[in-house]
Structure 1
Amino acid sequence: MRKHILFLFLCLLPALAWGQIPKPEGTFAHDTARIGELLQYTLVHRHPVAQEVILPSEQYDFAPFELVRKAYFPTSTKAGISTDSAIYTLRTFETAPLQQLALPIYVLGQRDTQTVFAAADTVVVAQLVTEVREPLPVREETTLAAVEERFNWPLLILWITATALFLALVWLIFGQAIQSKYRLYRLRKDHVYFASRYNSHEDRFKKTGSPQSLEKAVSLWKNYLTKLEKSAINSFTTKEIVEFYENDEEVNTALRICDKAIYGNLQTEAEGETNLALGMLRRFAKSRHKTQREIIRNAKNTR
Structure 2
Amino acid sequence: MLKYLLFIVLFALPGLVAGQQVLRPVGTFNSDTIRIGAPLQFTLVHRHPEKLEVILPGTNYNFSPFELVRKDFFATKTKNGISTDSAVYTLRTFDTKAVQSLALPVFVLQGKDTIRVNSDSSRVILQELVTRVNEPLKFRFETELVPVEERFDWPILLLWISFISLVSSLVWLIFGQTIKTKYKLYRLRKDHLYFASRYNAHIDRFVKTGVSQSMEKAVSLWKNYLTKLERSAINSFTTKEIVEFYNDNEEVNNALRHCDKAIYGNLITEADAETKEALLMLRRFAKSRYRANREIIKNAKNNRQHAGVAEPGLV
TM-score of the superposed pair, with normalisation by structure 1: 0.78
Task: Give unpaired runs (5+ residues) of structure 2.
Answer: 1-10, 305-315
Range 126-135 or range 101-110, more displaced: 101-110
Structure 2 residue 195 is the aligned partner of structure 1 residue 194: yes
Q: Which secondary structure state, in structure 1, belongs to the residue aligned with residue 300 of structure 2?
A: helix
Give the drift of 1:93.
Answer: 0.8
Give the drift of 1:89.
Answer: 1.9
> Matched residues in 2 for 1:215 and 1:189: separation?
24
Q: Which secondary structure state, in structure 2, belongs to the residue aligned with residue 255 of structure 1?
A: helix
Give the drift of 1:79.
Answer: 5.1
Provide the residue aligned with 1:234 in structure 2.
235
> Matched residues in 2 for 1:100 and 1:13: separation?
28
Structure 2 residue 73 is the aligned partner of structure 1 residue 92: no
Amino acid at match of 2:284: R
Give the drift of 1:127.
Answer: 1.3
Give the drift of 1:33.
Answer: 1.0
The question of whether the paired residues in 2 share the 8 Å contact of 1:177 and 1:300 is answered with no
Provide the residue aligned with 1:297 in structure 2.
298
The question of whether the paired residues in 1 share the 8 Å contact of 2:207 and 2:271 is answered with no
Amino acid at match of 2:208: K
Provide the residue aligned with 2:226 in structure 1.
225
> Matched residues in 1 for 2:271 and 2:25: separation?
128
Task: Give the 3 Å change call, closer, same or farther, for CA 135–288 of structure 1 in structure 2.
Answer: same
**Residue correspondences, number:** 293
Aligned positions of 1:4-19 closer than 5 A: 15=15, 18=18
Give the drift of 1:299.
Answer: 0.8
Percent of matched pairs sharing the same residue = 67
> Matched residues in 2 for 1:73 and 1:266: separation?
108
Range 58-67 or range 19-28, more displaced: 19-28
Provide the residue aligned with 2:142 in structure 1.
141
The question of whether the paired residues in 2 share the 8 Å contact of 1:226 and 1:234 is answered with yes
TM-score of the superposed pair, with normalisation by structure 2: 0.76
Aligned positions of 1:248-259 closer than 5 A: 248-259=249-260
Provide the residue aligned with 1:64 in structure 2.
65
> Matched residues in 2 for 1:40 and 1:89: separation?
4
> Matched residues in 2 for 1:21 and 1:245: separation?
107
Amino acid at match of 1:188: R
Provide the residue aligned with 2:6 in structure 1.
none
Provide the residue aligned with 2:125 in structure 1.
124
Give the drift of 1:121.
Answer: 1.7
Give the drift of 1:113.
Answer: 5.2
Provide the residue aligned with 1:31 in structure 2.
32
Range 60-69 or range 185-194, more displaced: 60-69
> Matched residues in 1 for 2:169 and 2:57: separation?
61
Give the drift of 1:217.
Answer: 2.1
Give the drift of 1:30.
Answer: 0.5
> Matched residues in 1 for 2:79 and 2:141: separation?
67
> Matched residues in 2 for 1:171 and 1:50: separation?
75
Q: Which secondary structure state, in structure 1, belongs to the residue aligned with residue 100 of structure 2?
A: strand
> Matched residues in 2 for 1:153 and 1:216: separation?
58
Provide the residue aligned with 1:206 in structure 2.
207
Give the root-mean-square deviation of aligned CA atoms. 3.6
Task: Give the 3 Å change call, closer, same or farther, for CA 230–53 of structure 1 in structure 2.
Answer: closer
Deviations 1:65-93 (A, max 9, x none): 11223333444455555444332221111
The question of whether the paired residues in 2 share the 8 Å contact of 1:180 and 1:300 is answered with no
Amino acid at match of 2:222: W
Amino acid at match of 2:197: S
Structure 2 residue 184 is the aligned partner of structure 1 residue 180: no
Task: Give unpaired runs (5+ residues) of structure 1.
Answer: 1-10
> Matched residues in 2 for 1:56 and 1:189: separation?
84
Give the drift of 1:228.
Answer: 1.8
